[in-house]
Amino acid sequence: MGLGFVGACTLACSDAAAPTEDEGADEVGQTDSSTDTETETETGESSSTETETETESSSETETDTETGTESDTDTDESSSETQAPPCNNTVVVTGYWPPTNEMLRPWSQNPDQNPEGWMGANWHDHGYDVYAFFPEFPPDGDPTNDELGDPGAVGSPESDLQVDYQDTSQDFWAIVDEYAPAILITTSRGGEIGWELEAVEGGHAAGGPQPALDWYPDGYGEVIFPTQDSIEARSWAGISTYRQGDQLPSQLPLEAILDATAALNLTTVAIDQETSGNFLSGFMGLHGLLYNLEAEDNLAAGHIHVGFGLPVDDARALIETTLDVVLEAHPLDCEP
């Protein structure tokens, strides 16, 4: 068994009433007819002036309203042009024990893990950017020198995805929540088969009524099973749902990957119709498919077991070919 996330504003205008002859008489008292005539004339001129002023004001108001409408329209059009949905061109690949961590090193942006520099930008001109996450195994990089659960086999706490249910659960969801990958490929070390494509995940039943006991103990820390209070809520929901025969199928183009990788003649290549197992491989593989279910813009996800004796250069050639096949199956239809 191998090691097996604008408003419109309405203006109301009221016309000011011109003073009448009676109102004018009240203000100036009883005068001769000449005075009355002059007063009426002046009052009439004043009323006319006020009316013209109101007419001009009304015209200005209408003009301002029309100008505002045009401005609003321009603003709305500009806003719609600048609020286009983002182009998701992110690929995440994860690893565990060697050779998986070593084969993914060129796609890490961590300078401590990849001092030669990240090579994931616009991978092979597909338009996608590829990011890798994996643990380190000090002091010698070889977990086979250590017992299961020992620090040398679990991985450094300073790196991602320790071989531990609690750390893997926490790190996985942190990674996918930040990067929101359109493509997600998880890998781990397997057995004799060099490149083993896993067709399904989940469905374990060893724990009876307790989902945590479906999984093999990781031997690390006080909590060695993925219990409800020790892992992320989404992890618990997943392992509680997809068990006792309920499984999730891989969302990778398995047959196309099989054909392309087998043609390299580097190692044995196969599609495994069972699961990645009930250790950390299967736990991680299930998480990838859980994310695929959750994320609307995740186009593909799945798990690959990498043979424990496969040379790193061969493993890297196989993951490169696998990436090419998957990205060709999902050509980018937007500008990154």
At 278, which CATH number?
A: 3.40.630.20
Count of CA atoms in the C-beta half-sphere (13 A) of 56 = 6
Same-domain status, 113 and 45: no
Same-domain status, 251 and 288: yes
Same-domain status, 313 and 240: yes
Q: Say which residues have a Cβ less than 8 Å from residue 210's Cβ, sequence separation at least 6.
A: none
Instruction: Write out pLDDT tens, residues 188-201.
Output: 999 999 999 999 99
Here the tokens at position 127 are 């338009």
Assessment of whether the complete model's pTM goes beyond 0.85: no
Same-domain status, 231 and 255: yes
Same-domain status, 223 and 125: yes
- Give the pLDDT band (50/70/90) at residue 173: very high
Give the count of domains, the chain. 2
Predicted confidence at residue 85, as pLDDT, reads: 60
Instruction: Write out pLDDT tens, residues 241-292.
Output: 999 999 999 999 999 999 999 999 999 999 999 999 999 999 999 999 999 9
Same-domain status, 143 and 247: yes
CA–CA gap between residue 215 and residue 198 (Å, rounded): 18
Burial class from Cβ neighbours inside 10 Å (0-12, 13-18, 19+) for residue 307 reads buried
Same-domain status, 232 and 324: yes
Burial class from Cβ neighbours inside 10 Å (0-12, 13-18, 19+) for residue 183 reads buried
In a domain, residue 11? The reply is: no
Predicted confidence at residue 336, as pLDDT, reads: 78
| CA angle at 100 for the pair 95 and 101, rounded to the nearest 5° | 70
Q: Domain of 113?
A: 90-329
Cβ-based neighbour number of residue 75 at 10 Å = 11
Residue 330 has pLDDT above 70, yes or no: yes
Same-domain status, 49 and 193: no
Instruction: Write out pLDDT tens, residues 99-130.
Output: 999 999 999 999 999 999 999 999 999 999 99
Residue 169 has pLDDT above 80, yes or no: yes
In a domain, residue 9? The reply is: no
Here the tokens at position 159 are 């790196």
In a domain, residue 15? The reply is: no
In a domain, residue 281? The reply is: yes
* Cβ-contact 325, 269 below 8 angstroms: no
Same-domain status, 250 and 196: yes
Residue 74 has pLDDT above 50, yes or no: no
